[in-house]
Amino acid sequence: MATYRRARRKFDDEPENHERWLISYADFITLLFAFFVVMYSISSVNVGKYRVFSDALGDAFGGQGAARPPNTEVQNIPIPNPALKRRNEAMKREKAQLTKLAQDLLSTMAPLVKEGKVRVTQDSRGVSVEINASVLFDPADARLTGESREALQAVAGLLKDDPHAVQVEGHTDNQPVRTAFASNWELSAVRAATVVRLFIDAGVAPQRLTAVGHAANNPVAPNDTPENRARNRRVAITILSKIPDVVTEIPTR
């Protein structure tokens, strides 16, 4: 009996373990760490890995399939720009004004346009009226013919009240000049100046006008046949756009 009592007393005196809660706490911390690792891993979305992950979750929770990947594309929301809006409106007005002027020039020069002696175009520079030199001048001469004066005065009537600047360019072929002019440079420049002088006499403001001679440096066709050389002998009247970004084309009649 004495021995039994001693063993019982030894068992009862063993101290109680008060740190068993640490096991549950460690499990909780481990799960919390795993949760944050998963959240961090999906915060930087890789579409391929996201689909694999979502498929696995779908299979694990009833086979619902892959979750829809989030939309990571940046939406381009236009920001109002008053200055850009004003410029666009000005470009529209400029385009409309130049297009109307081009149509009026086409109507005025319609007979010569049909004959292929006048071409009216519109591009980023403005509206250009290209007149074959045979309509305006005798060969190697810079004096306007009587018929050409009527055509140019009709053009001047359209330009007189128009606010745009006007550049008149003279062009020749590559054949040497055998008249009073020293070269094609002088001939092309004087022809351009002659047209400018007529515009001034018809009421176009001189400060809007510019005369330029190009000689044979800007051909529209190779100078290898009489027909092509005739095409290169021309005068181009360009109504310059106030907004050079305007680019448009007009149909020819």
Whether pLDDT at 247 is above 70: no
Whether pLDDT at 20 is above 90: no
Give the least confident one: 73-82, 108-117, 180-189: 73-82
Whether pLDDT at 105 is above 90: yes
Of residues 61 and 43, more confidently modeled:
43
What pLDDT score does 248 carry?
A: 45
Distance of CA 72 to the CA centre of its chain: 29
Amino acid (1-letter code) at residue 106 = L
Whether pLDDT at 106 is above 50: yes
* Average pLDDT in the chain: 82
**188 contacts 172 by C-beta, under 8 angstroms:** yes
**168 contacts 142 by C-beta, under 8 angstroms:** no
Whether pLDDT at 175 is above 60: yes
In the predicted model, what is the mean pLDDT of residues 209-213? 97
For each of the domains in the chain, give its residue range(s) and CATH number, in order of start. Answer: 19-74 (no CATH), 82-240 (3.30.1330.60)
**Local structure of residue 241 (DSSP, 8 states):** -
Give the least confident one: 62-71, 122-131, 176-185, 203-212: 62-71
Whether pLDDT at 209 is above 90: yes
Q: Is 118 helix (H, G, I), strand (E, B) or coil?
A: strand
Residues composing the chain? 253
pLDDT band of residue 80 (cuts 50, 70, 90) is confident
